Chain A
């Protein structure tokens, strides 16, 4: 059939077009994703929403560029900026668009402890930046001069605008080769066939319903009823409370649920509107999986969505025993060091991944993050007044078993000047679970050694002043083990 050949053309065109991009999507003009490339869970659900909200408020024409980072408009954390560009695939004279490309521009995050998103950084609703080929320098300057705009804001944004314009040009050149006609009827057929293929994937799961509950370390409860039929899968979070610290948008919750589901496939599944037709997320507004403005979202969009995905995997595993896996660590142990001259250092640590039926888990590998490269120690020590004493795998932190869970990471840092240390670990109260006799792993923690004093454990979330020569030790969680070494199991 010619049509499925055209679907492979769509995959190949987008794969080649976005080869050097980490996070991007091609959508219809009204925000239905045709192709999506992600780096974390939240983006799976939030990227299409960027276009949907942008389309709601702005009418982008061919070549026009808009920006948003507002989580309540489809963004994630405020340091991630999302640029959208309109494309008229047939280069119509009236510049009417049928497609859009979204691209992420990442700036350095900052953890801010508080209860209002507007304290987390500059929040930008969908805003036009380039209109009819002209860059709106006034808006750009105004954003760059905002007191909460991160360092390098304008430079990064200008580079991002150049990049997204190049992506549009490349798309048109490549589409010339593939000769794809992006008619509404063709796209509808693509989504419909994708939905049918996704039903076959879901059809491999045992049908039925399963309830699951989880308590977070701030005492809030996550409740999920998962229902699998031949046609679709429903994630019902009715009964979920609000949380003191973890807030996800509905789009991020969709991303977490979808990411967990597709991770059970051995092959890569394309992300488009068709597959979303088979997934439904019911999340009561105001709950921790459907946050409302002005709830802050940093923790929800990072640790929150990871623990949600782990929780969903656990629930699916309880329903369908063939899909059971031990659990990986969920928190990425984000922390800041803010020095008096405005120098800002930010970092995360990867947890260990769970063991499987066939092999040990990986040490220091977050299976829900696709950007794993740690920054250079030499570069950090050149640029910041800190010394990295050590960075290694955390001994005995993975769950024991026939197959051992991956170890977490332990990082020790000595500060050379006074600074403010802010950290956050959001994870369930229970440890990363082992399975079938495999042991649970260790949870994450943070320790401090003041100069001349003993080691002291800190709370999971907090902020305090450090003096020169104080040392902090951050330890990420391990992954659960699988099986035991008993004769019965073997």
Chain B
């Protein structure tokens, strides 16, 4: 193996959980922990020498979901300033007077209409006025806006107006995201190019970028400090390739983890066309259609976004699916998840029980090394009492656990493939429980907790 490969550090950083791989004594060794309890710096030994860091991260998605970005300016064809906002879907799938929608990442004050128009056949009806742009640039500078997203109608057919505006602003020092440049338009077979999907790519990249930049700089500095030298930090993108974090579009990294997981299933397991892959992680349960070629379009909470997504499914039941009080005065597993801040009740902080808490009460969670260190024994009674308050008829944690397991297996059951390979830290705990459920599927385990890093390592070597 090349010497520089031995000095590589592999990192998988999600919202709350970190996995690290490094070459120690001629072997690749892995470690994982909750980032909320132990910072990265404390985990990397000063004696480790590394120069190249290969990172797969969900940072872009976290910034988006937790509204941690910075509203960019959005320059849009005159007359369509509200178009993106109008198309943000409602959060509830039922009728309610208490209806809600996800918040748009663009501040209403930062949407600027541009007098331009391109027709469907690409003919330009209205050219961009440079004087108008001059005035606009002054306005943006006055408001300290650095990131600009541009979305014009029919810009994929003829991007000329977007290019003129984009170049004008780049020359004046702005970070510009043009929809015709950053959106993918070679998606699934039914894909029809649409302005909304394209514009969202530009807007979201512009929105995420400032916080992304800040966090990545911090990470790079931390790693350099530990390594006593400037490190070379590269980020995995949605195609499994590596980019410098400073030049990659943040949205190009949101499915890197899933891409690597899918590739792991394809490369490591036999008979790829006959299997499904089930990733049972600390933060996510995901199902992979290993036999599906191509990509689909990302369906975000803001609507469809023109970014390639591999064929996978986030299951309805997730590790931190919240248990709530139901219509018949009993607990049920809701669609909402709590994440790890503050985490499930068994970590001692939260007041809302989750699916993981039912695993804990039934004595399964203690077998998971990554989680065991976080468990608070005193929480067991509190969790039991909480379940009891939801149902005076003692609807137990055992039934909640069974409901969750049935939910996972039934989603898998919809697919025709009979063999399901399970990977991830929770796979050894859940697999025996799957086998107790009536199903035609054969659940098998692939003994690895770190499939993403294993595949990342192979990509690095390629």
A associates with B: yes
Which residues of A line the B interface, CB within 8 A?
Answer: 1, 4-5, 7-9, 11-13, 15-16, 19, 37, 41, 170, 173-174, 176-179, 193-194, 197, 259, 262-270, 313, 325, 350, 353-354, 356, 362-365, 367-368, 370, 372-374, 376-379, 381-382, 387, 389-393, 409, 412
Q: Does B36 contact A (CB under 8 A)?
A: no
C-alpha spacing A288/B94, complex, angstroms: 26
Identify the closest chain B residue to A387 (Cβ): B119
Q: Does B403 contact A (CB under 8 A)?
A: yes
CB contacts (< 8 Å) of B410 on chain A: these are 12-13, 16, 173-174, 177-178
Q: Does B342 contact A (CB under 8 A)?
A: no
Neighbour of B119 across the interface among A194, A356, A381, A412, CB < 8 A? A381
User: Which interface class (under 10, 10 to 19, 20 to 34, 35 or more) fits B?
Assistant: 35 or more
Identify the closest chain B residue to A179 (Cβ): B438
Closest Cβ–Cβ distance, residue A155 to chain B (whole Å): 14
C-alpha spacing A174/B270, complex, angstroms: 27
Closest Cβ–Cβ distance, residue B391 to chain A (whole Å): 7
Identify the closest chain B residue to A412 (Cβ): B79
Closest Cβ–Cβ distance, residue A370 to chain B (whole Å): 6
> Quick check: B154 and A176 within 8 Å, CB to CB?
no
Closest Cβ–Cβ distance, residue B204 to chain A (whole Å): 18
Residue interface mask B84-100, A partner, CB < 8 A = 1: 01110110111111110
Closest Cβ–Cβ distance, residue B90 to chain A (whole Å): 6
Neighbour of A377 across the interface among B153, B327, B328, B330, CB < 8 A? B153
Identify the closest chain B residue to A407 (Cβ): B82
Which residues of B line the A interface, CB within 8 A?
Answer: 78-83, 85-87, 89-90, 92-99, 101, 119-120, 153-154, 192-196, 303, 316, 326-330, 332-333, 391, 393, 395, 399, 403, 406-407, 409-411, 413-414, 437-440
Neighbour of B414 across the interface among A5, A15, A170, A350, CB < 8 A? A170
**In the complex with contacts A12-B406, A367-B99, A372-B89 CB distance below 8 A:** yes
Neighbour of A177 across the interface among B89, B303, B395, B437, CB < 8 A? B437
C-alpha spacing A263/B94, complex, angstroms: 8
Neighbour of A363 across the interface among B85, B119, B154, B437, CB < 8 A? B85
Identify the closest chain A residue to B192 (Cβ): A379
C-alpha spacing A368/B85, complex, angstroms: 19
> Quick check: A392 and B93 within 8 Å, CB to CB?
no
C-alpha spacing A363/B268, complex, angstroms: 51
> Quick check: A391 and B330 within 8 Å, CB to CB?
no
Closest Cβ–Cβ distance, residue B392 to chain A (whole Å): 10
> Quick check: A374 and B87 within 8 Å, CB to CB?
yes
C-alpha spacing A193/B90, complex, angstroms: 30
Which among B399, B410, B438 has the highest number of chain A CB atoms within 10 Å? Answer: B410
**Which 7 A/B pairs are nearest by Cβ-Cβ distance?**
A390-B79, A376-B194, A381-B120, A4-B330, A174-B410, A177-B410, A268-B94
> Quick check: B80 and A391 within 8 Å, CB to CB?
yes
> Quick check: B86 and A368 within 8 Å, CB to CB?
no
CB contacts (< 8 Å) of A393 on chain B: these are 82, 86
Closest Cβ–Cβ distance, residue A189 to chain B (whole Å): 11
Identify the closest chain B residue to A172 (Cβ): B413
> Quick check: B82 and A364 within 8 Å, CB to CB?
yes
> Quick check: B99 and A5 within 8 Å, CB to CB?
no
CB contacts (< 8 Å) of B326 on chain A: these are 4, 8
Q: List 15 A-B contacts (CB under 8 A).
A: A1-B393, A5-B395, A12-B316, A170-B413, A173-B410, A174-B413, A269-B327, A356-B98, A363-B86, A376-B192, A377-B80, A379-B193, A389-B79, A390-B79, A391-B86
Identify the closest chain B residue to A267 (Cβ): B327
> Quick check: B406 and A178 within 8 Å, CB to CB?
yes
> Quick check: A262 and B95 within 8 Å, CB to CB?
yes
> Quick check: B192 and A177 within 8 Å, CB to CB?
no
CB contacts (< 8 Å) of A270 on chain B: these are 327
C-alpha spacing A353/B328, complex, angstroms: 31
CB contacts (< 8 Å) of A8 on chain B: these are 326, 328, 330, 332-333, 403
Neighbour of A16 across the interface among B80, B92, B101, B407, CB < 8 A? B407
Which among A11, A174, A177, A387 has the highest number of chain B CB atoms within 10 Å? Answer: A177
> Quick check: B327 and A378 within 8 Å, CB to CB?
no
C-alpha spacing A266/B98, complex, angstroms: 7
C-alpha spacing A140/B410, complex, angstroms: 34
**In the complex with contacts A262-B95, A393-B82, A409-B86, A15-B316 CB distance below 8 A:** yes
Please name 6 further chain A to chain B contacts, defined as beta carbons within 8 Å, in addition to the given A12-B316, A19-B316, A194-B327, sorted by A numbering. Answer: A15-B316, A177-B406, A177-B438, A178-B406, A368-B95, A378-B194
> Quick check: A5 and B399 within 8 Å, CB to CB?
yes
Identify the closest chain B residue to A2 (Cβ): B399
> Quick check: B96 and A173 within 8 Å, CB to CB?
no
Closest Cβ–Cβ distance, residue B400 to chain A (whole Å): 9
> Quick check: B95 and A367 within 8 Å, CB to CB?
yes
CB contacts (< 8 Å) of A19 on chain B: these are 316
Closest Cβ–Cβ distance, residue A473 to chain B (whole Å): 12
**In the complex with contacts A376-B195, A378-B120, A378-B154, A194-B87 CB distance below 8 A:** no
Identify the closest chain B residue to A367 (Cβ): B99
> Quick check: A266 and B96 within 8 Å, CB to CB?
yes
Closest Cβ–Cβ distance, residue A23 to chain B (whole Å): 11
CB contacts (< 8 Å) of A379 on chain B: these are 192-194
Closest Cβ–Cβ distance, residue A186 to chain B (whole Å): 14
> Quick check: B329 and A367 within 8 Å, CB to CB?
no
Neighbour of A176 across the interface among B82, B327, B330, B439, CB < 8 A? B439
**In the complex with contacts A197-B327, A364-B86, A268-B92 CB distance below 8 A:** yes
Identify the closest chain B residue to A268 (Cβ): B94
CB contacts (< 8 Å) of A262 on chain B: these are 94-95
Closest Cβ–Cβ distance, residue B362 to chain A (whole Å): 15
Neighbour of A370 across the interface among B93, B413, B414, CB < 8 A? B93
CB contacts (< 8 Å) of B414 on chain A: these are 16, 170, 173-174
Neighbour of A373 across the interface among B87, B120, B195, CB < 8 A? B87
C-alpha spacing A412/B89, complex, angstroms: 23
C-alpha spacing A174/B89, complex, angstroms: 29
Closest Cβ–Cβ distance, residue B153 to chain A (whole Å): 6
C-alpha spacing A367/B414, complex, angstroms: 32
**In the complex with contacts A5-B403, A16-B411, A263-B87 CB distance below 8 A:** no
C-alpha spacing A11/B331, complex, angstroms: 13
> Quick check: A193 and B95 within 8 Å, CB to CB?
no
Neighbour of B413 across the interface among A176, A313, A377, CB < 8 A? A176
C-alpha spacing A377/B76, complex, angstroms: 13
Identify the closest chain A residue to B196 (Cβ): A376
CB contacts (< 8 Å) of A41 on chain B: these are 95
Closest Cβ–Cβ distance, residue B315 to chain A (whole Å): 9
CB contacts (< 8 Å) of B328 on chain A: these are 4, 7-8, 193-194, 197
C-alpha spacing A41/B119, complex, angstroms: 38
CB contacts (< 8 Å) of A368 on chain B: these are 95
> Quick check: B99 and A365 within 8 Å, CB to CB?
yes
Closest Cβ–Cβ distance, residue A7 to chain B (whole Å): 5
Closest Cβ–Cβ distance, residue B98 to chain A (whole Å): 6
> Quick check: B79 and A392 within 8 Å, CB to CB?
yes
Identify the closest chain B residue to A37 (Cβ): B93
**In the complex with contacts A4-B328, A377-B80, A392-B80, A9-B96 CB distance below 8 A:** no
CB contacts (< 8 Å) of A390 on chain B: these are 78-80
